[in-house]
Chain A
Amino acid sequence: MTAHDKFSLEEKLRSVIETVDVANALIEPLTRSIENLLYISAGQMNSEEASVLIRDGSHGDLRFISAIGKVAHQLIDITVPAGKGVAGFVFSSGQPMVIADAGEEDSFYAEVDKQTGYSTQTLLATPLRHKGEVIGVLEYVNRIGDPPYESFTADEMDEAAVFAEAISSLVNAYESAKLFHDFTDQMLTADETTDFADVRKWLDELRSTSEHKEILDLAILVRELASRGEEERKMCRKVLESILEFADGKANTNYLSY
Chain B
Amino acid sequence: MTEVSAYESNEYSSITTYFQIDESWKLRTGKGVEVAIIDSGIDADHPALLGKVKESVVARRQEKKVVFEPSDDGDSAGHGTACASIISRIAPDAEFYSIKVLGSGGSGDGQAFLAGLEYAIKKRYRIINLSLGTTRPQLFAPLHDLLDRAYQAGCIVVAAANNLPHPSFPSVFSSSLISVSKDDSTDPFDFGFRYGEVIELTAPGVNIKTAWLNKSYKQLTGNSFACPHIVGIIALLLETYPGLTPFHVKSALYAIAEENQKAKVKDAADQSDDNNETS
Residues of A within 8 A of B (CB): 55, 58-61, 82-86, 88-89, 91-102, 104-107, 126-127, 129, 131-134, 151-154, 157-158, 161-162, 164-165
Contact = CB atoms under 8 A, between A and B. Distances in A.
B15 to A, nearest CB: 35
Interface in B91-132: 102-109, 131-132
B162 to A, nearest CB: 6
A99 B219 contact: yes
- Residue from A85, A94, A98, A105 whose CB has the most chain B CB atoms within 10 Å: A94
A34 B163 CA distance: 22
B218 A100 contact: yes
A165 B166 CA distance: 10
B136 interface: yes
A127 B215 CA distance: 27
B219 A95 contact: no
Contact of B219 (A100, A106, A131): A100
Main secondary structure of the interface of B (DSSP, over half): loop
Minimum-distance CB pairs A-B, first 4: A60-B106, A83-B103, A105-B216, A100-B219
A19 B104 CA distance: 36
B77 to A, nearest CB: 4
A94 B222 contact: no
B78 A96 contact: no
Contact of A100 (B103, B108, B138, B207): B207
A92 B78 contact: no
B102 A94 contact: no
A151 B39 CA distance: 24
Contacts of A61: 106
Contact of B222 (A60, A84, A92, A96): A96
Interface residues on B, range: 35 or more
B167 to A, nearest CB: 10
A210 B228 CA distance: 65
Contacts of A96: 162-164, 222
Given A95-B132, A127-B164, A132-B134, A101 B103 contact: no
Given A60-B107, A91-B107, A94-B135, A151 B102 contact: no
A68 B164 CA distance: 23
Interface in B130-172: 131-138, 160, 162-166, 168
B166 A95 contact: no
A244 B214 CA distance: 64
A91 B137 CA distance: 17
B87 to A, nearest CB: 17
Main secondary structure of the interface of A (DSSP, over half): mixed
Contacts of A82: 103-106
13 contacts: A60-B105, A82-B106, A88-B77, A89-B103, A95-B222, A96-B162, A99-B218, A100-B219, A126-B164, A133-B136, A151-B221, A154-B163, A164-B164
Nearest to A125: B222
B102 A93 contact: yes
A59 B138 CA distance: 20
Contacts of B213: 105-107
B158 to A, nearest CB: 14
B206 interface: yes
A133 B163 contact: no
Nearest to A162: B165
A92 B214 contact: no
Contact of A161 (B77, B134, B164, B215): B164
Contacts of A102: 218
Given A105-B214, A106-B214, A134-B107, 8 more contacts: A60-B104, A60-B108, A61-B106, A96-B163, A97-B79, A97-B221, A105-B216, A161-B164
B212 interface: yes
B182 A154 contact: yes
Contacts of A129: 135, 164, 166
Contacts of A91: 107
B85 interface: no
B260 to A, nearest CB: 20
Contacts of A86: 77-78
A129 to B, nearest CB: 6
B218 A101 contact: yes
A161 B160 contact: no
Given A105-B213, A105-B216, A158 B40 contact: no
B184 interface: yes
Contacts of A162: 165
